[in-house]
A and B are shown apart, each in its own frame.
Chain A
């Protein structure tokens, strides 16, 4: 039965119990589902060629054995079989393959198989997200078949493109613009067309990456400003209700001496955002739309694994999407210092409030990935909530793991990709370190601290502008998403600071080790800058050679 039919047949309470009942599970009940589904997955995965390529002839029988025998994996472990799409080697037959970019990988793309069971669970959990996003309190949600969704995410074969199909399977809400038409449009065209239709029909749901939502919302505001001239012409295509709402809103804004905002025109029931850096945009988005976005957590490999509730007090994980393990912060650090170290993990019911963890996932229902380091870091912000009346842990998404710099959910830059960009640009860079930082407006960017080769300073053009442009060009060349970041969001995500020659060596001398290449701690950056500003540094002989 489709969700749409259920809406007519069952009461809100009954539907809430069905889709959101997991929120009030006791921890042991939650773990019972987790363990049971892992048992199934363990058997499927261990007996598949893919599983055996990692297990090398071993067969775990219990969950404890599974955690002991199966090493923590990354996409490299699966690449040989998955990239060649060898369906027969998988734990279960895939229904479709979803792809995403593989930054820093040996191949430009990563692909992940989706089985029927995974898609069913995904669908169920997506409806849960929709219900929770429209809810204002327990058992009170607001979903109507006649609602419209403005959807600012990439189409298939990306995982985000799957969502409209899953929604369409369950409910006839209208996507603006319709999914089939949107597939042939550019990102900008989609947004313009979506808003035009939204003005006509109304927008009840809005879903996208936090950064994109913000960009699109800004675009709408500017679009309204630009429409002043041809207002009458535009209003012709607008419904009388929207026209009335528009006029009232304009009057109100005039009175309040402020520009027209999306919230004046649309009363969103549901505002969902995904991706990284959402916290940088949430406040602004709330001001623009009058409703705080609800964060959901989804990915290409794990599907949709959690979302916030009406309280917006943290992400709750779904019990049936993946088996969750968490690498505690201390273990992460040990592993960063020594990549050969196998960090230990804790289970979902073993996390402690306040703890920071890297998540490790085993995808259920015949999924390909086991004990997979998806590369995301969460903080457990509490166990049990009075607002939601439960006893289970909730999490806050922090960021990608320090080895990856993710800018606004668009691009993921690794040490490899920076090295490649430097290599391609042939810039005489001796040393560098990169850190994700935020502007005073709370927007993310990558800050590259660069030390040039002393010997090349006199023979190469190495001004800041040259560095910025050259590196930018090669980042764009290597990474389509980086290009999109600039093209779509208008963000220049790269800031370069030149440090004196010898700064990195001085740091090494002073602290006994090189500074970390990716995302060193702020205090380490300060130490580096202190070395940079030290007068003795950089002198070799009598002159500052690079001045």
Chain B
């Protein structure tokens, strides 16, 4: 090998090294392929030159042609590389230049005129390769310069007035200059024999490599794989030993006196040690320069990927994510927002003291950006996007206050699950590409885990929540009560049990949909009132409970009063007729009044029961006395009998105003009972029909006497007042807690089957059956009785009217049954003459009075 052959060797190894590296690079852009093709050309050139100078088999000429092939194709490949680097879509003579240079190559092959085969001359024991160029070589130069000129023109056009692009393209321009200069200088006599052209090729390749690196078309860490480090160490070892092997051998054999074999073994060992040492040095150098942070990040990411699969809860996953990011990247503050409905809400901050009162809506510019872009972005880059122009000033101030620098999307299956906001790094160094790549990878891994855990938590939550109100379900309530009781120890824990009053009636009056809405509203009030300080649960259809850790009896009472007031406000908003939404609340607090969770619940229940028995719509703290009273009251008979005397008194009171009402109620009760029985209603409904009939006109107590006893027709205003007796009746009966079940019947006895009645204009089957029965019975008695304003109608005529109004005023089915009863004589006419009425009333009144 001649003195300058090492330059060929180095260049060859250099190209091979780059080529091997780029084999592993992701070839997303065409320019990577072109660069590899350029490397192949350079390998042909350097390899041919090296093989020729070392006179390898088959011949000097063969390797010369290989080398020439590389040289000739170099400008055209370089041209292709530049066009691809510039992302030029037009051809710009790619094919023409290819034909020109291939043509020259073929021409040279046959004529040996352009680049002649060198003469091999032995000088001082060394072989020299002397090229004797003719003028024809300048044709090659001219073509190469033309090709390079066009390249530089294209580069100029692309970078004109754009310093950034010019900076990107500068290495390529310098590469061109190096190549031309190298080849031009190589023809000068002073450099005769020195492969300056090959050296310029190496410089050019390095510059192109730098251009690609600068454009971020590959990662530097690709270079520093173990095999690459070893190859570098090997090359360096060979070059070093090539220079020192002969002097060292001479020294060992001649000066030290070792045998040739021993000297060879020693030298081989020394070479191995040098290569090994070089490998360690190179690996350590690259590790310090590039790999350490990357390696650490890779290890952390691998560990994170493994650990995250074992985590189920969102909070745990985000905690892990935060730890990893803080360790690998060093972000000072981390905020994670997760999508919840239409908003992205803060679910995690690295420090618990961070600002948590902000949410992003779907139209937030950052959300909009991440719906279209999947990569992490630095704030300063985000601020340069068009969507950023929609940011509010307050949001910009918030971002500035939080010192945010980097944003990462949490995307899984094209769905933006959440966002991660990172503040500046602890070491105040800016985020670099490596950090962004790491964050991108870890966000992707995390997003998948998050999606699963969100689904899990959702399922868990659904299982623990009441579907209608969103409050804690009964089952979970018991679990929580036990947990909280154990947790409370000797500190206060209150339990409030809330029972909505007359809810069955509410449902009957307004329908189950309205009832459900009312439950929802109550649920919302409870959830909002308790907040994070306790738990609200729906433990039964109309029964709710609040577990209030840390609340003593007084605090629980204050809260209960607040809740009762809010529930009462629902009525004023809804303007309900007939039934108001009220709540009975029982409170018990541990450790004052209960020694275990079960007792706590039992006592609170007892307190509610006590409120219910005492007229509802109240709050009661449990005490032994109240419990005793509640127990006592359970022994009372519920229903009509309980209030019979009150009702009797009320009806009698009406009688003083309207002499017909008392008897009328009795008559209607008789007809209603008979009709209910004939219609096949069960005994309890028959009883309700009776009681409702007795009470159906009780509201007349609130109607002026002159209207009640008016002999002529009522004016519209008077009629309106008269109609109010229905609502009045419902309001009176409400205060008889055990009789509230009759309210639907009473409230609807003036509804018409065709929907033209009052007060709620119900129609058909919407009208409670008791109401429909009362309607028939009431009308029949009204027709057949004597009234101040009319004489009684004969029974036959009354039956006819029932028939006529069947399906209009009356339920056709019930009217039919009633007519049948009358016609069959199963119903006795109850109406009395005016004289009888008055004499009866006198007796009853007296009876009442004496009672």
Rounded to whole Å, the gap between the CB of B347 and the closest CB of chain A is 24
Contacting pair B163 A21 (CB below 8 A): no
Q: Which of B63-71, B378-386, B496-504, B827-835 contacts A (4 or more CB under 8 A)?
A: B378-386
Of all chain B residues, the one with the shortest Cβ separation from A125 is B389
Establish whether residues A12 and B386, one from each chain, have CB atoms under 8 Å apart when the complex forms: no
| Contacting pair A11 B390 (CB below 8 A) | no
With contact pairs A21-B385, A32-B368 given, residues A12 and B390 touching in the complex (Cβ less than 8 Å): no
A9: chain B residues at CB < 8 Å are 164
**Interface pair A320/B385, CB less than 8 Å apart:** no
Min CB–CB distance A162 → chain B (angstroms): 19
CA distance A115 to B368 in the complex (A): 26
Interface flag for B625 (CB, 8 Å): no
Q: In whole angstroms, how far apart are the Cα atoms of A25 and B389 in the complex?
A: 12
Known contacts A12-B161, A32-B368; is-contact A18 B385 (Cβ 8 Å): yes
* B380–chain A nearest beta-carbon distance, Å: 7
Among A1, A11, A17, A121, contact of B380 (Cβ-Cβ < 8 Å): A1
Whole-angstrom distance between the Cβ of B197 and the nearest chain A Cβ: 34
Which residues of the partner chain A approach B363 to less than 8 Å between Cβ atoms?
A: 32, 35-36
Q: Check A365–B390 contact: CB distance below 8 A.
A: no
In Å, the complex CA distance between A12 and B163 comes to 9
- Residues of A near B390 (CB, < 8 A) are 32-33, 36-37, 319-320
Partner of B163 from the list A8, A25, A33 (CB cut-off 8 Å) is A8
| Interface range, B side | 10 to 19
A92 surroundings in chain B (CB, below 8 A) = 393
Q: Which of B365, B389, B390 has the most CB of A within 10 A?
A: B389
Q: Is there an interface contact between B389 and A33, defined as CB atoms closer than 8 Å?
A: yes
Asked whether B165 is an interface residue with its Cβ less than 8 Å from the other chain, the reply is yes
Complex CA–CA separation, A9 to B378 (angstroms): 15
B-contact 0/1 string along A112-129, CB 8 Å cutoff: 000111000100100000
B367 nearest CB across to chain A (Å): 11
Q: In the complex, A516→B273 CA distance in Å?
A: 104
Q: Does B394 contact A (CB under 8 A)?
A: yes
Interface footprint category on A? 20 to 34
| Given A1-B380, A32-B368: A11 touches B389 (CB 8 Å cut-off) | no
B392-A7 in contact (CB<8A): no
Contact across chains for B163 and A320 when beta carbons are under 8 A apart: no
> Taking the complex as formed, is A281 at the interface, i.e. its CB lies under 8 A from any CB of chain B?
no
CB-nearest residue of chain B to A33: B390
Q: Tell me, yes or no, whether B717 is within 8 Å of chain A by CB.
A: no
**A366, closest chain B residue (CB):** B393
A40 with B165, Cβ < 8 A, contacts A17-B386, A25-B386, A32-B363 known: no
Rounded to whole angstroms, the CA-CA distance of A525 and B384 in the bound complex is 53
Contact with B along A260-281 (1 / 0, CB 8 A): 0000000000000000000000
Per the bound structure, the CA–CA distance linking A114 and B368 in Å amounts to 29
User: Given that A11-B164, A12-B165 are contacting pairs, would A36 and B392 also be in contact in the complex, using a CB cutoff of 8 Å?
Assistant: yes
What's the minimum C-beta distance from A319 to chain B, rounded to whole angstroms? 6
Interface string of A356-371 (1 = CB under 8 A from B): 0000000001100000
Chain A residues near B368 (CB-CB < 8 A): 32
With A36-B363, A40-B393, A365-B393 already in contact, the answer to whether A8 and B386 are too (CB < 8 A) is: no
| Contact B389 A320, beta carbon cutoff 8 Å | yes
A388 interfacial by beta-carbon distance below 8 Å: no
- The answer to whether B386 and A22 touch across the interface, beta carbons within 8 angstroms, is yes
Within A94-131, which residues are at the interface with B (CB < 8 Å)?
115-117, 121, 124
Residues of B within 8 A of A33 (CB): 387, 389-390
CA distance A144 to B387 in the complex (A): 27
Task: Tell whether A10 is near chain B: CB-to-CB under 8 Å.
Answer: yes
A391 within 8 A of B: no
A364 → chain B, closest Cβ, in Å?
Answer: 9
Question: Interface readout for A1-21 with B: 1 if CB under 8 Å, 0 if not?
Answer: 100000111111010011001
Q: Chain A residues near B574 (CB, 8 Å)? A: none
A7-B393 in contact given A17-B386, A18-B384, A22-B386 (Cβ < 8 Å): no
- Asked if B165 contacts A11 (CB within 8 A), the reply is yes
- A37 with B392: in contact, given A21-B385, A32-B368 (CB under 8 Å)? yes
Query: Could you jot down 13 A-B contacts, CB within 8 Å?
Result: A1-B380, A8-B164, A10-B164, A14-B384, A18-B386, A22-B386, A32-B363, A32-B368, A32-B390, A33-B387, A33-B389, A116-B393, A142-B161
Residues in chain A within 8 A of chain B (CB atoms): 1, 7-12, 14, 17-18, 21-22, 25, 29, 32-33, 35-37, 40, 92, 115-117, 121, 124, 142, 144, 319-320, 365-366
Q: Which 5 A-B pairs have the closest CB atoms?
A: A33-B390, A21-B386, A320-B389, A18-B384, A40-B392
7 extra interface residue pairs, beta carbon distance < 8 Å, beyond A33-B387, A36-B363: A8-B163, A11-B165, A12-B164, A18-B386, A29-B387, A32-B390, A36-B390
